[in-house]
């Protein structure tokens, strides 16, 4: 039996298009790409990769926690970056959120992200 529900939390920014913050299906959580948007203001945070990475991961964590899951339940992450030269700075913040049993990950440089963000991250988590 496939059970699907839309995940929404005020602790992460509202979707800026026709998509959901997350979708829960049979124990899997698919989290849409999170941008460095402050959910309280709806604005992008400062143009610094470390600050933006932290905001993105805080937003991602809010969606994950809305399903009573933890960052350790994430099994796959995709990181989209405007500049691969920011990779090490992004990783310094990333490793604060993922400390053991790291998820599989892809990091790619892209030409442009919504709202001219420097970074966007999506994820898949599973209830164990």
Q: Supply the pTM of this predicted model.
A: 0.96
Beta bridge partners of 6: 23
Both tokens of 48, joined, read: 């610094």
Number of other residues whose CB lies within 10 A of the CB of residue 82: 18
Residue 119 CA to residue 25 CA, distance in Å, equals: 26
Print the SS3 string covering 37-68: ECCCCCCECCCCHHHHHHHHHHHHHHHHHCCC
CATH number at residue 77: 3.30.1330.40
Q: Contact, 46 vs 119, CB < 8 A?
A: no
The alpha carbons of the chain give a radius of gyration, in whole angstroms, of: 14
Q: Which domain does 51 fall in, by range?
A: 4-126
At residue 1, the pLDDT reads 62
Q: What is the pLDDT along the chain (128 residues), one digit of tens a residue?
A: 678 999 999 999 999 899 999 999 999 999 999 999 999 999 999 999 999 999 999 999 999 999 999 999 999 999 999 999 999 999 999 999 999 899 999 999 999 999 999 999 999 999 98
């Amino acid at each position: 039996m496939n059970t699907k529900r839309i995940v929404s939390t005020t602790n992460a920014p509202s979707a800026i298009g026709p998509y959901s913050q997350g979708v829960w299906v049979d124990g899997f959580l698919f989290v849409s790409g999170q941008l460095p948007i402050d959910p309280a203001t709806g604005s992008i945070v400062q143009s610094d990769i470390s600050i933006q990475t932290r905001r993105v991961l805080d937003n991602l964590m809010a969606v994950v926690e809305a399903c009573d899951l933890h960052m350790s339940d994430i099994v796959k992450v995709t990181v989209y970056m405007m500049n691969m030269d920011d990779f090490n700075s992004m990783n310094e913040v990333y490793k604060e959120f993922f400390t053991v049993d790291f998820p599989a990950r892809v990091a790619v440089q892209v030409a442009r992200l919504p709202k001219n963000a420097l970074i966007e991250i999506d994820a898949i988590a599973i209830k164990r």
